[in-house]
Amino acid sequence: MSNTLHLQIEAVESGYEFLLAYAAQGRESDQGSEVRDTLMAMRDAAAGIDESMATGGGFAEIVADDARKSLAAINLVLAQDPISSELVDNLNVSIHLRALLTDLFLLSETLQP
């Protein structure tokens, strides 16, 4: 697995863990938190995953499609002001983000030496 892809996968996975914790905080606003930065890192990673996988065929196309769908959901959340814990909780349960995470877990396991 390329180093870039590994970093993109890590950004999505660690970002999701952060979002789970943020959702549990019951915040009305993202002021004073790192949630926007985390979402932007996840957005950039999802865009990179989409770009690198889009022409791969087979499972790579599925990963790219799930990355595009997750990217749209992340962008929707980033467009909101403020970003509440409830909004992030709804993103966390999005089937699109969960599909991407599952894809990435599987991909990581198959690409390990």
- What residues have CB less than 8 Å from 69, skipping those under 6 apart? 96, 99, 100
> For 64-97, what is each residue's pLDDT tens digit?
999 999 999 999 999 999 999 999 999 999 999 9
pLDDT at position 113, please?
72
* Residue, of 113 and 49, whose pLDDT is higher: 49
Residue closest to 46 by CA, chosen among 74, 79, 17, 85: 74
pLDDT classification of 111: cutoffs 50, 70, 90:
confident
pLDDT classification of 1: cutoffs 50, 70, 90:
low
3-state secondary structure of 112: coil
% of the chain residues with pLDDT over 70: 99
37-42's contacts with Cβ under 8 Å and 24+ in sequence apart are 39/15, 39/74, 39/77, 39/78, 39/83, 40/78, 41/11, 41/15, 42/11, 42/12, 42/15, 42/16, 42/70, 42/74
pTM to 2 decimal places: 0.95
Per-domain residue ranges of the chain? 3-111
